[in-house]
Structure 1
Amino acid sequence: MSVVLVVEPQLFSTQALSKQFGHARIVLHSATPARAVAILQAVMVDTVVIPDDKIEEADYAMLLSAMRLIAPASTLICLPRG
């Protein structure tokens, strides 16, 4: 059982997320990368899912840096939109 954090879930299809992460014990949604950092500080997250076309944006760079410090054992998954 795992905890999955999906950043900007509105960019992904619900069907794709449930197919890939239906096994997860808890799926958390975050509207912004900054909010995702706050969630990482409060909850032990196993997997973080972000849109693959936003990996270069500054907000996501901040999230990745925070992941390295706060949750180094977390897995990052970049998924295409839709």
Structure 2
Amino acid sequence: MVRILDTGVQPDRSSRDAIVKNADGTVDIYFGPSAPNGKPKSNWIQTLPGKGWFSYFRLYGPTQAYFDRSWVLPDIEPFVSN
């Protein structure tokens, strides 16, 4: 049986959500037990200490850049909130 942890926060983000974009059109998504200070809460996905988690990325309607590999999904990078 698979159980989804109920954290009270939606466990995913989508282009249909009210995600805050950066000035250059990119999006930062934050994973952690609490929302990072000074960052949009809409871009945060809650994790639980001591519980495993994973990320996945779905791409619908990829363009040529995906197929010729000129577009690459960047790695997840650590962010330390103040």
TM-score using structure 2 length: 0.33
Question: Which structure carries more helix by proportion?
Answer: 1
Rg comparison, structure with higher value: 2
TM-score using structure 1 length: 0.33
Q: Between the two structures, name the one with larger relative contact order (CA 8 Å, sep ≥ 6).
A: 1
